[in-house]
Amino acid sequence: MSIDSGNTPVRPIGRIRSIDALRGLAATMVMLHHYLFSYEGRIGPHVDRVPSFAAGHFGVELFFILSGFVIAGTLGRTPSLGDYAVRRVARLYPAFLVCSGVTLGIFALGGPNPVGITPGAALAGLTMLSSLIRVPPIDPSHWTLTYEVAFYALAALALIHRGPATDPGLRLERICAGWLAAAFVGTLVLPVRTLQVVVLLNLPFALLFVIGAMLARLAAGALTPLGLGALAAVFGFTALGPAVDYGGVGTGFYVLLVLGFAGTVLAAATGRLPWLGCAPLVFLGAISYPLYLVHQILGYAIIRALEAGGWSSGSAILAAVLASVGLATVIRYAVETPGQRAIRRAFDRTRSSVPDTAEPARS
């Protein structure tokens, strides 16, 4: 790892199994938080509540850092803006549509609907922009997708007018530096209600995506002084900036938590955590996206039904975990993977069928 001047060719970062494993751990953290802690406030009391999982929702922070890392690492391997857009759609939508259908099916059968999703809200939720248009997402866990899509759109700017000698990662550093500045100023001058709508200026999430993106540059040996400054500014903003809601915890705790996550991601990316390559964690990483999307309402419905039938809380929660992991596995291999391939093949066919209308060079 080193700081680059910005003129060195950058090797693209390939898929890293340990990064996938961290995604699996993040999804598991969020799932256990919902089943062991959040369920009581949303659906009904457990016999045995587990307060130690109150902080499990910070798995979302790890998810955002990982998303920034992965997107920054893929830019150098993406030949065009069109390829990038298709890959993002293929990555997000097949599993999302099926998981949303599962949740809506549970609602139709009288299952728990903690935020009262209406047909109109469900249609709006299919855009993945619920947090932007201020309607509840189909499944409560889906609120993060708006921020994912916003970051994907911002990162796409690095591929516009891309030339043969242009490093999109370097462009992303500049974009992230400008984004941080805008988010910080927005936090100072705009009311919180406005920031909730202008998702790109929501400072806590901007910080996390930028951390991930700059860590990818650092792991590739390509981080420039500008990127290093952006990374330092992240923690400066967090520690010394305006008061921001960091998930109900103090600023000091949040800074340490994010530092820990950042260090873990960097260590995983540089091969310093080989245990993350073990088969169970790699498997959890493979199913992490559908597991995150499908677990909450499905699990709540299972827990409520089984506890009403006399099951102990522990047994009901274990059944919910197994059902969520099982369904996520089916979605991953029966829907997500073939869906991604089908979308990419359709794009490739469309692109190959378009005649090259470029005018030949004049001599």
Report whether pLDDT(267) > 80. yes
Kindly state the average pLDDT of the residues 288-313: 95
pLDDT band at 280; cut points 50, 70, 90: very high
Angle between helices 225-240 and 251-269 (to 10 degrees): 150
Q: What is the pLDDT of residues 304-350, one digit of tens each?
A: 999 999 998 889 999 999 999 999 999 999 999 999 999 999 998 88
Higher pLDDT, 180 or 83: 83
Report whether pLDDT(123) > 50. yes
Higher pLDDT, 240 or 272: 272
Q: Are 216 and 235 in contact (CB under 8 A)?
A: no
Report whether pLDDT(37) > 60. yes
How much is the mean pLDDT over the chain? 85
Kindly state the average pLDDT of the residues 245-254: 70
Kindly state the average pLDDT of the residues 91-113: 96
Virtual CA dihedral for 274, 279, 282, 287, nearest 10 degrees? -170
Report whether pLDDT(44) > 80. no
> How many Å apart are CA 195 and CA 202, to the nearest integer?
6
Picking from 184, 264, 188, the residue whose alpha carbon sits closest to that of residue 219 is 264
Q: What is the pLDDT of residues 214-228, one digit of tens each?
A: 999 999 888 888 889
Q: Provide the pLDDT for residue 241.
A: 56
Higher pLDDT, 151 or 247: 151
One DSSP character per residue, 9-32 reads --PPP---HHHHHHHHHHHHHHHH
Q: Are 138 and 126 in contact (CB under 8 A)?
A: yes
Kindly state the average pLDDT of the residues 286-300: 97
Backbone angles phi, psi at 117, to 5 degrees: -65, 130
Picking from 89, 32, 39, 24, the residue whose alpha carbon sits closest to that of residue 340 is 89
Report whether pLDDT(66) > 60. yes
Q: Provide the pLDDT for residue 336.
A: 98
Higher pLDDT, 234 or 202: 234
Q: Percentage of residues in the chain with pLDDT exceeding 90?
A: 53
Q: What is the pLDDT of residues 147-194, one digit of tens each?
A: 999 999 999 999 886 665 578 888 999 999 988 888 878 777 877 666
Q: Where are the beta strands (DSSP E) in the chain?
A: none
pLDDT band at 99; cut points 50, 70, 90: very high
